[in-house]
Each structure stands twice: as structure tokens, then as C-alpha cells.
Amino acid sequence: MSNIVFINIVRFLALYFLQVLILRPLSIGWEGFFYFNAHIYPLFILLLPLRISKPAMLLLAFLIGIAVDMFYDTPGMHAASLVFMAYARSYVLSYLEPREGYNVNYSPTKKRFGLTWFFQYASIMIALEVFFFHSVEEFTFVYIIDILLKSFFSYILSMLFIMMAMFAFNPTD
């Protein structure tokens, strides 16, 4: 049990520092709009063990989200989108549940459930997270075209970094 806690603490810190020190300067856009925002920190929530309680997961999502917000100068936007993603996680997992069910002692990784399953899982979760993030950023659906464009480009870039991380590190727990 303590091994899983240690692995998740290291994962938390690694993804946090990767996000704020390396991916923050990659926000690229035109005409004052940032359309390319890479979000790799949601990978922490994606890879939490299946048996984690919902309140604990929501608290962890809030903590990493608010920590990222401190460096991005975005009061609560990352925290809100990550808590939303963490809340939706159980519904997405039940939608993608294999016929034989889940072993709750595992984390939902590419190695445990296969590349196709993990890509579907990560795609749905990251799409929810970036759409919610950019919706909160604009705070009105008057700018729905901007929200969709920002969400699309951020989704592509985020998925690229998440899949690279999954292939590079290939976590099992």
C-alpha cells in the first residue's frame, strides 16, 4: 500500500513540475488568443488507482489544480476543470468497463487495459477537461467558436504529450 502512495506522490510532483516549468511556456496563439495549451497534469487523475474514494480523488484533483493555478495566474480555472474531470471519471470508467469488469487494485494504464482502451479513456477525459477549462475561461457561450477552437487545439496537444508520457514511462501502478 505504501508503495502505491509513494508512486503517486512522485507522479504528482513530476507532472506538476513538468506542467509548470516546461509546458507553461508552450502556450501559443495568435491575435492575443492562446489556442495551444498543453495539459499533462490531468494524467495524475487518470492514473489514480480504481479503488480510490471519490472524495479523496476530488481533493487530490483540487490540490494539483490549485497548485498549477498558482503558477499560471488563473485563479481556480485549472482546479475547477480538474475537479470536474475527476468527478466525471467514474462515469467514464463505467461506460468503458470491460465485459469481465475491473480489478480495483489496478490503475487504469495502457499496460493493464491495452492501448485502444487507454486512448479512448484518456481522450474522453481530456476532452472533458479542456472543454470545461476553456468554458470557464470565457465564462459565456457567446464565444463558443473560441471555446471550441481552443478546446480542439489544446486537446490535440495535451493528448500528444500524454501519449508520449505513457509510452516513455509505461506505468503499471
Give all domains of the chain, ordered by start, each with its CATH number: 2-169 (1.10.1760)
* Cβ contacts of 169 within 8 Å, gap of 6 or more: none
Do residues 91 and 139 touch, judged by C-beta distance below 8 A? no
Q: Which amino acid is at 94?
A: S
Helix segments in 28-143, DSSP class H: 43-46, 54-72, 77-95, 110-113, 115-138
**Full-model pTM:** 0.86
- Is the Cα torsion angle 111, 116, 121, 122 positive or negative in sign? positive
Do residues 68 and 85 touch, judged by C-beta distance below 8 A? no
C-alpha cell at 118: 487507454
Spell out the per-residue pLDDT of the chain, length 173, in tens. Answer: 567 778 778 878 888 877 777 776 665 544 555 567 788 889 889 888 888 899 999 999 999 999 888 888 788 899 999 999 999 999 999 998 877 877 777 788 888 888 899 999 999 999 999 999 989 888 877 888 888 988 998 899 899 989 988 888 776 65
How far is Cα 109 from Cα 133, in angstroms, rounded to an integer? Answer: 24
How many C-beta atoms lie closer than 10 Å to residue 107's C-beta? Answer: 21
Inter-CA distances, 109 with 76, 106, 117, 171, Å: 28, 8, 9, 7
Which of 37, 56, 41 lies closest to 11, judged by CA? 41
